[in-house]
């Protein structure tokens, strides 16, 4: 275990700490307000819970926690996101109060109380985020340094900067690593660590205080801090099929995943059927074309299956070549643009989930024509077929829409991480972030 003097924690550490401090501040503020009210706070617990959950939930939805991971934090963006979360909470509680019409003794829903409480909560939230960003409340992040020549580390530097992490990564020589002041995390490639010519320098680094100087590898930094595995940095061979968590004999999580797929797919199909009927009518009225779009996709172990979607683009000739979808693509219809933003065009794929061709969570399936090209250009690409494709996936909630080979390589880095670290917990994280994307109409 690493000592706390070197803060090399998981990427969601700041977010969890910030949410906990927001909760602590809200509770402290309402306890202070309750001293001036005649009715005990215990009789307000339902409304207290509703307000707190709404404030934390809208903060998550509108990105007041996400900004903590930005490399640069514009103060106007921080203020705007915290204000939006607070104001939407205020409106939500007012609406629920109007619907429920609670008795007069429920003072917590009074407009005056809510304004004072949430205004104080927003001020507290802004202060907490500023202090977290400046390392006041948590130990400061160490320097992350790639040891080796810039040429050796070119792919790693490009891959790191592509996702804009909070920590800046730079490359230094092995000799310079001895002069770096702690706390520091040194990412040294395995080949450099094993090279006999570097024995004395490596021993000198290992002799440093292990609580302040961590020696690791570039892949380990990506895996732990960015939760992805850039394919060009992975060795050959890497991660055999038998090593997958998914492939373990008598895997309870695998059985649970399939059971959840079936139950949730049936429920979602039942609930969304009226909505799909209305959407189907809108698609037909828009251009009198077919409602559904059926396309060959590559799935489990490279097998081709027919994927179903609600049509969002103009009808193309059967012999039209496969091409990437780009921002403001002129092929997208007016109705299709909204369907893609809300991810409603994916609903028919619940049928694919029931048939076993897909799962709710997994790597997104791609067209065979494009995959042949990607397999030639991106190492380890076929490994994404080692799990059933999904309606949503770690790449879909972590990376932008793929519109090029470079984008596909970025998304593959998240797919490979999902393959190696598949778990029920990770599926739940992906599900929550997918819900967030749908609620924010953030699809494309």
pLDDT (average), residues 179-184: 88
pLDDT of residue 327: 67
Looking at residue 38, what is its pLDDT?
A: 84
For the chain, percent of residues with pLDDT exceeding 70: 92
The residues near 280 (Cβ < 8 Å, ≥ 6 apart) are 291, 310
As a whole-number percent, the residues of the chain with pLDDT over 90 amount to 54
Per-residue pLDDT for 7 more than 70? no
d(CA 357, CA 349): 9
Q: Enumerate the domain spans of the chain.
A: 13-133, 143-226, 245-439
Average pLDDT for 150-159: 84
With a cut of 50, say whether residue 3 has pLDDT above it.
Answer: no
Q: What does the pLDDT look like over 237-261, one tens digit per residue? A: 898 888 888 777 677 888 999 999 9
Strand partners, 313: 332
What is the pTM (predicted TM-score) of this model? Answer: 0.87
pLDDT for the residue 67: 82
Considering only CA atoms, which of 378, 436, 380, 366 is closest in space to residue 406? 378
> Is 320 a residue whose pLDDT tops 70?
no
Q: Which of 80, 69, 191, 92 is nearest to 125 (CA)?
A: 80
| Chain length of the chain | 444
143-226: CATH topology: Rossmann fold (3.40.50)
């Amino acid at each position: 275990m690493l000592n706390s003097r070197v803060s090399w924690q998981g990427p969601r550490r700041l977010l969890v700490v910030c949410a906990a401090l927001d909760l602590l501040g809200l509770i402290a503020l309402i306890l202070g307000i309750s001293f001036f009210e005649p009715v005990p706070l215990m009789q307000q617990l339902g409304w207290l819970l509703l307000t707190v959950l709404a404030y934390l939930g809208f903060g998550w939805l509108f990105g007041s926690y996400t900004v903590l991971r930005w490399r640069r934090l514009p103060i106007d963006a921080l203020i705007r996101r915290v204000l939006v979360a607070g104001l939407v909470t205020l409106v939500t509680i007012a609406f629920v109060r109007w619907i429920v019409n609670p008795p007069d003794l429920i003072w917590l829903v009074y407009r005056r109380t809510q304004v004072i409480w949430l205004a104080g909560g927003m001020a507290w939230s802004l202060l907490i985020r500023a202090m977290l960003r400046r390392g006041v409340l948590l130990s400061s992040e160490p320097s992350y340094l790639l040891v080796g020549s810039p040429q050796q580390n070119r792919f790693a530097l490009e891959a790191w900067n592509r996702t804009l992490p909070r920590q800046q990564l730079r490359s230094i020589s092995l000799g310079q690593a001895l002069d770096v002041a702690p706390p520091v995390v040194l990412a040294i490639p395995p080949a450099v660590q094993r090279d006999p010519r570097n024995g004395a320098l490596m021993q000198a680094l290992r002799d440093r205080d292990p609580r302040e100087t961590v020696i690791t590898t570039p892949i380990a930094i990506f895996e732990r801090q960015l939760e992805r595995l850039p394919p060009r940095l992975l060795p050959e061979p890497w991660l055999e099929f038998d090593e997958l968590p998914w492939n373990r004999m008598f895997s309870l999580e695998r059985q649970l995943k399939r059971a959840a797929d079936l139950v949730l797919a049936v429920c979602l199909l039942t609930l969304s059927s009226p909505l799909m009927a209305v959407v189907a009518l809108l698609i037909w009225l828009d251009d009198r074309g077919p409602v559904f779009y059926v396309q060959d996709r590559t799935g489990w172990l490279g097998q081709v299956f027919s994927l179903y979607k609600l049509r969002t683009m103009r009808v193309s000739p059967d012999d039209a070549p496969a091409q990437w979808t780009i921002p403001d693509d002129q092929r997208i219809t007016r109705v299709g643009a909204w369907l893609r933003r809300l991810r409603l065009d994916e609903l028919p794929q619940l049928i694919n989930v029931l048939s076993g061709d897909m799962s709710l969570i997994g790597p997104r399936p791609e067209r065979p024509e494009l995959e042949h090209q990607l397999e030639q250009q991106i190492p380890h690409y076929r490994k994404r077929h080692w799990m059933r494709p999904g309606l949503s996936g770690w790449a879909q909630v972590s990376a932008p829409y793929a519109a090029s080979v470079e984008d596909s390589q970025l998304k593959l880095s998240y797919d490979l991480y999902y393959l190696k670290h598949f778990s029920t917990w990770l599926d739940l994280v992906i599900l929550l972030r997918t819900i967030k994307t749908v609620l924010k109409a953030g699809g494309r």
